């Protein structure tokens, strides 16, 4: 069994004014998390303190941050506003996708865990800062993974990758009591060409299709640019996050971002690139439009189309039923696009831009975008 790990995380850097006390809030389930997840099974099957709660508590004791210190005391009356922040690690989604390439006797399993590291004010239940994390594990095996295999893999992710990267993230995050400017993905649009692929490859009752694309883009933007992102809420019934703990729940009010990102998924396309005696190379293309606006001033700062091609090689015997499994490669192509796009404000990749965007003013557009990102740091 070959295992590949992909970690997507972010830390946001801001200048700390004073050291605050932050109350340890523990692990939570986010408001859109399905009930039948492997994580919930792992969490609930323990007698007493669950494994996830235990490893998160142990990890929190290793936090070494200059802008705040963790307190394990209960909230008390008379605390200053800056000392009423609560830290929570909330699982926002768990996705398990798999494809079977029969001709190559190969099964690929993708495990994706989405989290929000949340600082909220306990006095008024308002969000102070949120940091998205996405951790993915790709497993190639000759046979589909059993439920016990999945339980073991996800348990290992919590004990190792999730906690290690949470600690690295939080140790580099400077907490502020107030953020003057915020940014977030506020709209996801599916054009007709994209709807065909998305509907065909999604469950009919999946009401959070758009949320998954928003999470993916947000994670790359945050990680590569060191900015916090307000959680996407377009497909929620209200602008809140419901944090569900073992014996209670708390509804956290989300602030409205000052700057809105509109993501349009334009479509997907596959093209045969090269053919040999036993193999074929296919290019999996993904197409988007990314727009940044400031609604209060009715200003548009960025509005560009991008495309990305991902080269995938198959044996000829496996391409006979490729329509049954190629959706996952379109998603791979889209993630590479999000990653590459978000890096252009750090350093322009002329080779990627040449193939992904034909605008003559794209360099100036990214320079302006980088200037706006500075407002969120």
Selection from 175-179, 202-206, 280-284 with the highest mean pLDDT:
280-284
Phi, psi of 43 (to 5 degrees): -65, -40
* Cβ pair 265, 306 in contact under 8 A: no
User: Which numeric CATH code is attached to 2-178?
Assistant: 3.40.50
Phi, psi of 262 (to 5 degrees): -110, 120
Which pLDDT does position 10 carry in this prediction? 40
**What DSSP assignment string belongs to 169-213?**
HHHT----S--S--EEEEEEEE-HHHHHHHHHTS-TT-TTHHHHH
* Cβ pair 23, 87 in contact under 8 A: yes
Segment 104-141, tens digit of pLDDT: 888 999 999 999 999 998 888 899 989 898 999 999 99
Which pLDDT does position 105 carry in this prediction? 84
Which pLDDT does position 3 carry in this prediction? 47
Residue 35: pLDDT above 80? no
Residue 12: pLDDT above 60? no
- Over the range 168-202, which residues count as b (16 or more CB within 10 Å of their CB) and which as e? ebbeebbbbbebeebbbbbebebeeebeebbeeee
Residue 154: pLDDT above 80? yes
Biggest CA–CA distance in the chain, Å, is 76
Segment 166-181, tens digit of pLDDT: 998 888 787 888 888 9
Confidence of residue 194 (pLDDT cuts 50, 70, 90): very high
User: Which numeric CATH code is attached to 183-227+258-377?
Assistant: 3.30.160
Which pLDDT does position 8 carry in this prediction? 44
Segment 300-337, tens digit of pLDDT: 999 999 999 999 998 888 877 788 889 999 999 999 99
- What is the share, in percent, of the chain residues with pLDDT greater than 70? 89
Which pLDDT does position 34 carry in this prediction? 67
Which whole-number Å values give the CA distances from 94 to 107, 135, 159, in the listed order? 19, 10, 16
Residue 28: pLDDT above 80? yes
Segment 68-94, tens digit of pLDDT: 999 998 766 555 556 688 999 999 999
Which pLDDT does position 200 carry in this prediction? 85
Better pLDDT: 79 or 6:
79
Which pLDDT does position 22 carry in this prediction? 92
Distance CA 129, CA 365 (A): 27
Residue 299: both structure tokens together:
């200003």
Boundaries of every domain in the chain? 2-178, 183-227+258-377
Distance CA 211, CA 291 (A): 17
**Which residue shows structure tokens 């439920």?**
147
User: Under 8 Å CB-to-CB from 372, ≥6 apart: which residues?
Assistant: 183, 259, 292, 301
């Amino acid at each position: 069994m070959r295992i590949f790990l992909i970690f997507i995380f972010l830390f946001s850097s801001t200048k700390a004014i004073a050291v605050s006390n932050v109350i340890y809030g523990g692990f939570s389930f986010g408001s859109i998390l399905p009930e039948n997840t492997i994580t919930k099974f792992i969490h609930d099957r323990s007698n007493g303190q669950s494994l996830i709660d235990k490893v998160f508590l142990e990890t929190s004791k290793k936090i070494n941050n200059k802008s705040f210190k963790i307190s394990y005391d209960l909230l008390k009356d008379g605390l200053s506003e800056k000392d009423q922040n609560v830290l929570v690690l909330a699982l926002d989604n768990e996705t398990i996708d798999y494809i079977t390439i029969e001709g190559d006797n190969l099964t690929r399993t993708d495990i994706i865990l989405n989290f929000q590291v949340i600082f909220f004010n306990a006095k008024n239940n308002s969000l102070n800062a949120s940091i998205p994390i996405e951790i993915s594990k790709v497993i190639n095996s000759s046979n589909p993974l059993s439920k016990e295999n999945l339980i073991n893999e996800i348990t290992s992710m919590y004990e190792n990758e999730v906690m290690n990267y949470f600690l690295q993230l939080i140790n580099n995050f400077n907490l502020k009591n107030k953020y003057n400017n915020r940014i977030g993905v506020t709209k996801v649009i599916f054009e007709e060409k994209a709807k065909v692929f998305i509907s065909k490859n999604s469950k009919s009752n999946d009401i959070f299709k758009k949320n998954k694309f928003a999470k993916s883009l947000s994670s790359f933007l945050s990680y590569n640019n060191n900015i916090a992102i307000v959680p996407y809420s377009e497909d929620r019934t209200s602008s809140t996050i419901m944090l569900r703990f073992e014996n209670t729940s708390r509804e956290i009010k989300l602030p409205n971002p000052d700057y809105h990102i509109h993501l349009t998924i334009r479509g997907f396309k596959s093209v045969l690139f090269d053919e040999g005696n036993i193999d074929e190379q296919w290019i999996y293309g993904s197409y988007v439009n990314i727009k940044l606006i400031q609604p209060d001033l009715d200003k548009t700062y960025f509005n560009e189309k991008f495309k990305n091609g991902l080269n995938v090689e198959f044996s000829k015997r496996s391409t006979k039923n490729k329509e049954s499994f190629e959706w996952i490669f379109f998603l791979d192509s889209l993630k590479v696009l999000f990653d590459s796009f978000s890096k252009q404000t750090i350093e322009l990749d002329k080779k990627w831009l040449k193939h992904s965007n034909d605008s003559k003013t794209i360099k100036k557009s990214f320079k302006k975008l980088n200037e706006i990102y500075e407002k969120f740091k």
